[in-house]
């Protein structure tokens, strides 16, 4: 357990800090996550991914469950950085740290964060609330006072745009290379 804490403590703490609002919640979440990782250890399969990926997925799932439990008890609260400037002005502060510790992310994740900033402000807001904060479409609808169908449309179109931007070679035809 000591080796697990030493190796992945920073990752779990950083993820927990993004999902929680108060320091005491972060500490409780980290403890809960490490208990869940320890209990789920037998499910780790190196053929499916690295240890770090396994720890990150268990952490994310546990934190989303924790947030949903809290939402059932209280009105949804949203980290101000998620919507700061996005819903009101259509821009953000350019700080990739609002989504996570960029230095600890892979190249694809860093690219996705940069591409997220190119989406329409409504798409950015609903994707950040959905993916980064773990809110359901219904909760986002209530929080942003937006029809549920509109929230789903923004999420879908935003994710499609991200997928297309992440795989530009798939969109190009072989004829495009010959014309240039």
Q: How far apart are CA 33 and CA 17, in angstroms?
A: 12
Residues 101-147 have pLDDT tens digits of 445 557 777 787 888 888 888 888 898 888 877 888 988 888 888 89
Where in the chain is CATH 1.10.10.10? 80-171
Residues 33-57 have pLDDT tens digits of 999 988 988 898 889 889 899 999 9
Give the pLDDT score at 23: 79
Give the pLDDT score at 86: 41
40 token code pair: 């789920």
Q: Does domain 80-171 bear CATH number 1.10.10.10?
A: yes
Q: How far is CA 100 from CA 124, 131, 172, in A?
A: 15, 12, 31
The CATH number assigned to the domain with range 2-73 reads 1.10.1740.10
Give the pLDDT score at 139: 87
| CB 67, CB 140: distance < 8 Å | no
pLDDT band for position 170 (cuts 50, 70, 90): low
Residues 8-42 have pLDDT tens digits of 888 998 888 887 767 788 888 898 999 998 898 88
Q: What are phi and psi of 161, to 5 degrees?
A: -60, -40
Where in the chain is CATH 1.10.1740.10? 2-73
């Amino acid at each position: 357990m000591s080796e697990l804490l030493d190796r992945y403590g920073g990752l779990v703490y950083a993820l927990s800090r993004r999902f929680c609002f108060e320091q005491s919640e972060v500490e409780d979440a980290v403890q809960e996550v490490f208990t869940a990782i320890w209990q789920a250890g037998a499910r780790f399969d190196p053929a499916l991914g690295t240890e770090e990926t396994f720890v990150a997925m268990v952490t994310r799932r546990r934190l989303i469950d924790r947030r949903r439990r809290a939402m059932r008890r209280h009105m949804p609260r949203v980290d101000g950085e998620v919507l700061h400037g996005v819903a009101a002005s259509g821009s953000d502060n350019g700080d990739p740290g609002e989504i996570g510790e960029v230095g600890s992310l892979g190249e694809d994740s860093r690219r996705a964060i940069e591409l997220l900033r190119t989406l329409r402000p409504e798409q950015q807001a609903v994707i950040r609330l959905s993916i980064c904060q773990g809110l359901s479409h219904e909760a986002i609808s209530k929080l942003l006072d937006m029809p549920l169908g509109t929230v789903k449309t923004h999420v879908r179109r935003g994710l499609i745009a991200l997928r297309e931007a992440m795989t530009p070679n798939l969109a190009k035809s072989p004829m495009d290379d010959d014309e240039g």
